[in-house]
Amino acid sequence: MEKTITIKNEYNSLDTLHEYLKTASSFECSKDYDIWEQRTDANGQMEQCIVLKKSGMHAVKLFFTEENTVRVNYIIPNKIMNAYFGKSVKAYRNILEIIAGGIKRILLAPAQEKAFEELEQVVRKAAV
C-alpha cells in the first residue's frame, strides 16, 4: 500500500514534518534510517524517513520524493515480523516465506488496509 501526498510548504522537510506529526497525532512518531528499502542519498549514506507507528505490526513510513511531495508506504516496523510478513522482493522464496505470504493475504491484509487508512488520515492533515 502506497500513496503520494502533496503537503503544505511549511512542512517541506523531514524535521518540520516530524515535529508536526508528533504533536498532531496520538501515534508514535520517529525519524529513522530507511532499513525497509535501504535508499541512499548522493553521498552514499542511508536516507532517513519518518515512521508513524500504530502498533508493532502496523506503521507507515514517509519520505520526500520531491520538494513538497511525500510518499507514504505501509511497513511492518518489527524487523522479525517484517522478515516473515513484509513485502518480499526475492526471486526465489523458501517454504516459510510462501506460507507466511498466504497467511498475510488471508488474515493480515484487511487489518493492514484499515491501519494504513488511519495513519494516512493523520498525514493528510498536513496536506494542501
C-beta pairs of 21-24 under 8 Å, 24+ apart in sequence: 21/50, 21/52, 21/122, 21/123, 21/126, 24/122, 24/125, 24/126
Q: In the numeric block, which cell numbers belong to residue 45?
A: 549514506
The tally of domains found in the chain comes to: 1
Q: In the numeric block, which cell numbers belong to residue 98?
A: 510462501
Domain range enclosing 48:
2-124
Query: pLDDT per position in the chain (128 positions), as tens?
Result: 788 888 888 888 888 888 888 888 888 888 988 887 878 877 888 888 888 888 877 888 888 888 888 888 888 776 656 655 556 555 566 777 777 777 767 776 777 788 878 888 888 777 76
